[in-house]
A and B are shown apart, each in its own frame.
Chain A
Amino acid sequence: DGGITQSPKYLFRKEGQNVTLSCEQNLNHDAMYWYRQDPGQGLRLIYYSQIVNDFQKGDIAEGYSVSREKKESFPLTVTSAQKNPTAFYLCASSLGLAGAYNEQFFGPGTRLTVL
């Protein structure tokens, strides 16, 4: 799991601002994911990407955007359209999406707080 990094660890945002969370992996994984975690809740999928230049919406994509220009990188932008963005954001990666490659490895997370 040490092959996935996220930055920053803590992020403070004013209302109305867009912010971008970084996620990088050196595991040569094809699939990458973004999850949101709120207190007392499980992980909810925001976006995922199976290959470069392709990504799909997850269960709670509204107010978020992503890009996948490089295999190693999958940044998440939290836009001003996201009504309640304060949460712990986790990035993950896996060799592939289905079959034998489901094991997901998580980054250390970014805690976003809206002031």
Chain B
Amino acid sequence: GENVEQHPSTLSVQEGDSAVIKCTYSDSASNYFPWYKQELGKRPQLIIDIRSNVGEKKDQRIAVTLNKTAKHFSLHITETQPEDSAVYFCAASDSWGKLQFGAGTQVVVTP
């Protein structure tokens, strides 16, 4: 089955700097890669997603890149703000369409 690895597990950045989170997946049939943000005690919220027919997608300060050959995808947050502090999860769909999640990255943005 699909296996998703996510790095780093924790990431501390200064406000205004960029943050990058990387994920790798194992199933070459995966075709959908969402990223979720989860604040403490809250539900995960979709922040951006990418499908296998594109290599990059951007939404304001957030961008995701996908390298199908290497089976990895990354989340980029530019000009980080304190409200970006949260746990971020990557996920990849398996061949049945179910999502397999990474273990999460705790992002801390310090003023």
* In contact, A102 and B34 (Cβ under 8 angstroms): yes
Number of interface residues of A (CB under 8 A): 24
**Knowing A41-B104, A42-B104, A103-B49 touch, does A97 contact B44 (C-beta < 8 A)?**
no
Distance of A45 Cα from B104 Cα, bound (Å): 15
Complex: A45 Cα to B92 Cα, angstroms: 13
Within 8 A of A (CB), among B94-111: 96-104
Q: Cβ of A45 and Cβ of B98 under 8 Å apart? A: yes
Report the interface size class on chain B: 20 to 34
Q: Other CB < 8 Å A-B pairs besides A42-B103, A97-B98, 15 of them?
A: A1-B45, A40-B9, A41-B103, A42-B6, A42-B89, A44-B101, A45-B98, A45-B99, A58-B98, A59-B1, A90-B44, A102-B34, A102-B93, A106-B44, A108-B43
**Complex Cα distance A38/B6, Å?**
16
Contacting residues of chain A (78-108) with chain B, CB-CB under 8 angstroms: 90, 96-99, 102-108
Q: Does A43 contact B (CB under 8 A)?
A: yes
